[in-house]
Amino acid sequence: MSKLYDSRRRFFGHAARLLAAGVVLPLTRPALASLPNARQLAFEHTHTGERLSVVFSLGDHYLAESLKRLNVFLRDHYSGEVGNIDPQLFDLLYGIKQELACETAFQVISGYRCPQTNSRLRKSRGGGVARQSLHIEGKAIDIRLAGVPLSDLRDAALAQSRGGVGYYASSDFVHVDTGRVRAW
């Protein structure tokens, strides 16, 4: 093993331990993504046009700064209100990405919804929006993946057996949530 490889391996191992301990290091995003057990997701928001690629955890340790960025990105795009997204939702999305062996960014149709937005959508759409939607709790997201058939995305979500999966073929999205396991 070369000295360069050994020294790089030690550096990244040490950096991962410090991050897991909550120490913030000024690592670049590419360096962070190359750390062992780095879990990364990429998103495009269909309503705001924003894009985000973020390492959200190292193994089982969520990165607080990344979760804050994700909360802002997945805010209620109608009101601008920022909610707290359940980190297990990112685990679910990561599992879907792994199942599909896909590097494509998730296209986000809806993330967090404040109660007022949810109520307004429920009244204006005449159905399809639950009164006690898990979007209000930051536990649901409506998504699609460019180039991936919607039925494949649904099947990958169902294979996770980690929450609810709604298939909305006519609206071109799949709903996933961290509630009880169910499908519609």
User: What does the pLDDT read at residue 153?
Assistant: 98
Q: Is 59 left (phi over 0), alpha (psi -120 to 50) or beta?
A: left
| Nearest C-alpha neighbor of 165 from the set 71, 106, 96 | 96
Q: How many CA atoms lie within 13 A of 91 on its CB side?
A: 15
Are 146 and 92 members of one domain?
yes
pLDDT band for 150, please (50, 70, 90 cuts).
very high
23 with 51, same domain: the answer is: no
More confident residue, 26 or 51: 51
Q: Decide if pLDDT at 87 tops 50.
A: yes
Q: Answer yes or no: are the C-beta atoms of 108 and 44 closer than 8 Å.
A: yes
Contact 145, 184 (CB under 8 A): no
Q: How many CB atoms lie within 10 A of CB 96?
A: 27
pLDDT of residue 29: 59
Pair (4, 85) in one structural domain? no
Question: Are both 29 and 44 inside the same structural domain?
Answer: no
Same domain, 77 and 141: yes
pLDDT at 130: 81
* pLDDT exceeds 70 at position 143: yes
CA angle 80, 148, 72 (to 5 degrees): 15
**Arithmetic mean of pLDDT over the chain:** 87
Q: What percent of the chain has pLDDT over 70?
A: 80
Rounded average pLDDT over 72-93: 98
Q: Are residues 87 and 155 in the same domain?
A: yes
- Written as one string, the DSSP assignment of 132-160 is T-TTTTT-EEEEEETTS-HHHHHHHHHHH
| Interval 101-134: pLDDT, tens | 999 999 999 999 999 999 998 888 765 788 789 9
One-letter identity of residue 80: G
Name the band, by pLDDT with cuts 50, 70 and 90, for residue 24.
Answer: very low
Residue 135 and residue 120 share a domain = yes
Mean pLDDT, rounded, for 49-75: 97
Number of domains in the chain: 2
pLDDT band of residue 25 (cuts 50, 70, 90) is very low
Integer Cα distance of 130 and 136 in angstroms: 10
The secondary structure element, H or E, covering residue 182 is: strand 182-183
Same domain? For 27 and 105 the reply is no
The span from the CA of 156 to the CA of 153, in Å, is 5
Query: Are residues 140 and 60 both part of a single domain?
Result: yes
User: Which domain does 4 fall in, by range?
Assistant: 1-34
